[in-house]
Amino acid sequence: MPFTEELQIVPREEHWDPYSTHQQSDVFLGVNRVPCLMVDEEMRDFIQRGLSSAGFYVIGLRGRVGEARQIKTAREVGILRAVNTGTMEAVRQMRKYEDASNPHGGTDGEKVLEPETFVLIDVGGHLYGYSSDICRTFLPPFLEKPLKDASLSPNLEEKLKVWDIVFEAQTQSIHRMKENLTAASVDIAARNVITEAGYGETFTHRVGHGIGIKAHESPYLSKGNTNTLLKTGMTFTSEPGIYLVNKFGVRHEDILLVQGNEEPQLLTGRRALGPWDP
């Protein structure tokens, strides 16, 4: 995202130590105490050690600084909406073409899709430093949608059943994305649907996570995160799934914005309409 504030550039010759150069620059001119730098969990260890050796006090993101990244401004929300709707449209356009349903499945690149094969695509992109993260599970375009009263094969019948269960789990998790509800309650709402349907052990991950500058950032929507309360302006994924080993898997993932006590705002354009219309 383009910067609106004035930036200060610190020049450095290649043979200069980067850490001491930064510490001795005009950025810290007049600072009479040890300068403190907050870094996130992706900062490489050797950089943190280099900063410490140059006289910086290095700590992790905490308190209000960490929370500032969780609450998105209107401008940030606009970017997240743009990158996520764009990513979703790319998946929908890809589904139309033959090449998208031929060589990409499996680990060796030689698996050919059968008409009743589920395709699961979990993908993301970036725009102005902000992330998209979406997932759709759908059937190939060369399998025609059966009529309402048509007889289905046992294979397809099971897949459609599981698809609907995961969609309902996502629906229930979305309903819990409101201010002052716990992060855990969002996960539990989805997990209850899948468990009651008999697939509880196949939902092997948390239901979602924060998203913004990073594709995965706090707060995390896990059943153990009972202390974190959702706040207006937070953005999350909702991505429940059922994974049947050696058979198939289903996951639906969308991005949502918490809006007080109202239903959250969808930032992926629209949810999937069915296995034939992701």
pLDDT at 65: 81
pLDDT tier at 97, thresholds 50, 70, 90? low
13-47: pLDDT as tens digits: 999 999 999 888 888 888 888 888 999 888 999 99
Q: Which CATH entry fits the domain spanning 70-266: 3.90.230.10, 3.10.129.10, 3.30.1280.10, 3.30.360.10?
A: 3.90.230.10
The secondary structure element, H or E, covering residue 245 is none
pLDDT at 184: 98
Under a CB-based contact definition with an 8 Å cutoff, are residues 190 and 254 in contact? no
What percent of the chain stands above pLDDT 90?
A: 71
173-225: pLDDT as tens digits: 999 999 999 999 999 999 999 999 999 999 999 999 999 999 999 999 999 99
Greatest pairwise CA separation for the chain in angstroms: 78
pLDDT at 233: 98
pLDDT tier at 118, thresholds 50, 70, 90? very high
Average pLDDT rounded to a whole number, residues 80-96: 92
pLDDT at 5: 72
* DSSP letter assigned to residue 155: H
194-206: pLDDT as tens digits: 999 999 999 999 9
Q: Which residues, listed in sequence order, are joined to residue 121 by a DSSP beta bridge?
A: 136
Residue with tokens 């998208």: 100
Domain boundaries, the chain: 18-60, 70-266
Average pLDDT rounded to a whole number, residues 57-68: 85
